[in-house]
A and B are shown apart, each in its own frame.
Chain A
Amino acid sequence: MTEKKTNHLVDDHDEDGVDRRGFLSCMAWAGTGAFFLMQGGVLKSYSLSRLPAGVPSSGELSFVQISDSHMGFNKPANEDVVGTLKTAVDRINALGTRPEFMLHTGDISHLSRAEEFDTVDQVLKGASTNSVFFVPGEHDVLEDDGKQYLERYGKGAKGNGWYSFDHKGAHFIGLVNVMNLKAGGLGTLGGDQIAWLRDDVSRLKHSTPIVVFAHIPLWTVYPEWGWGTEDSAQALAVLKKFGSVTVLNGHIHQTMQKVEGNVTFHTAASTAFPQPKPGEAASPGPMKVPADQLKSILGITDVTVARGRHALAIVDSALA
């Protein structure tokens, strides 16, 4: 991503909706490798290959995000999703700063099968992080309205699996927007979850850094392909009073980011297979790329929270 494109995004003060041209121009494939740093609500990005001196590489809190493992997928776009997930774990273990925990933003499995969840759990045990926090993707709640998902990953969670926790002064919120999808519609949070969110953040100081993670983007990436959440604006309105809000999503199998006021939106790459850029294919189905390029467009996201500056540094790393 070039500095020019970053400036274009930072200069976008249109807050009445989504500036599609703006974020499309800032879309990055993980394979290019990008380092994102937000300070005072202003996002700067750098190519991983030319990190300037003085960019903080660690803070008081760092964590890593992975997404869309799609365990069980075995089509030509990637016939070895176990192997690429293992590579992601290797990359996490090789990071200079050991992340304190991992976020998995859904589509753990491809078909909600027990053995698929088992395999992911087994592979992630090899990661150096202490714990993994999950939110479900639509592929994790097939057939049983998420019952199995909740039994495995939702202990202590509310409703369909939403929850929050505090870590070193930052407040993390896992949201569920893949349940009860309506015909013709997008992802949905629902009134109960938004009411819970309002209550959950009511006790927090406005200076508390907020990190929201959910599967489907909480911003409208491309509604024609269902890449958005229909009631996300209500959730974001609840978070408007906070000085630093970072929203981490998956679902679209490519990295993309956007800044709107104090909110930074970021989507992570898949560890399994890439999907096309919005509108650049007949459908959002798996994209087949030459085998030697596959790992360059799968990846992990490394996030560092730098306290005092309300800053989050987000680094996307390709698997190769």
Chain B
Amino acid sequence: MSKTVLTNGVFLAALAIGVAGVGRTVTAVPAGTQPAADATAVKIDNFTFGPADVTVKAGSTITWTNHDDIPHTVVSMDKAFKSKVLDTDDHFSFTFASIGTYTYYCSIHPKMTGKVVVK
């Protein structure tokens, strides 16, 4: 398990792939049946992670984008990853190198929870 530190340029590239990947993978394929492609986007909307449960292949990058007018964070419960505070339209990306199940939450609004399964 290693956290990938992204420079701005790489970050934007990862984000672009993530956005392109939304329709093809996460929404079209039921979570848990087939691992998604290399990049996946999770939207933060109305104090909810969407989709809350995501299944990806090892090595995939997930990008969270905050669409709320209130800041949120993305923090894994086992401390594998932790975003800075994401204000409106801010993004956070993390590359999942190792298989496993990663549960996470917003440390500001702990009722907000999500899960990433890496196969």
Contact = CB atoms under 8 A, between A and B. Distances in A.
Chains A and B form a bound pair = yes
Interface of A: 73, 75-77, 110-112, 138-139, 142-143, 181-186, 224-226, 282-286
Interface stretch (B6-14, B56-64, B100-108): B100-108
Contact of B110 (A75, A183, A282, A283): A183
Contacts of A138: 108-109
B71 interface: yes
B96 interface: no
B77 A111 contact: no
Nearest to A141: B108
B96 to A, nearest CB: 19
A76 to B, nearest CB: 8
Nearest to B107: A181
Which 8 pairs from chain A and chain B are nearest by CB? A183-B105, A283-B46, A283-B47, A75-B69, A181-B110, A226-B111, A282-B46, A142-B85
B94 to A, nearest CB: 17
A186 B109 CA distance: 8
Contact of A183 (B70, B77, B85): B77
B34 interface: no
Contact of B46 (A76, A110, A143, A285): A285
Nearest to A223: B111
Nearest to A183: B105
Interface residues of B, number: 22
B113 interface: yes
Contact of B111 (A184, A282, A285): A184
B46 A142 contact: no
B69 A77 contact: yes
B53 interface: no
Contacts of B40: none
Interface in B56-103: 68-71, 73, 77, 84-85, 87-88, 103
Contacts of B47: 225, 283-285
Contacts of B70: 285-286
A139 B110 CA distance: 13
B48 interface: yes
Nearest to A77: B69
B105 A139 contact: no
B118 to A, nearest CB: 19
B110 A110 contact: no
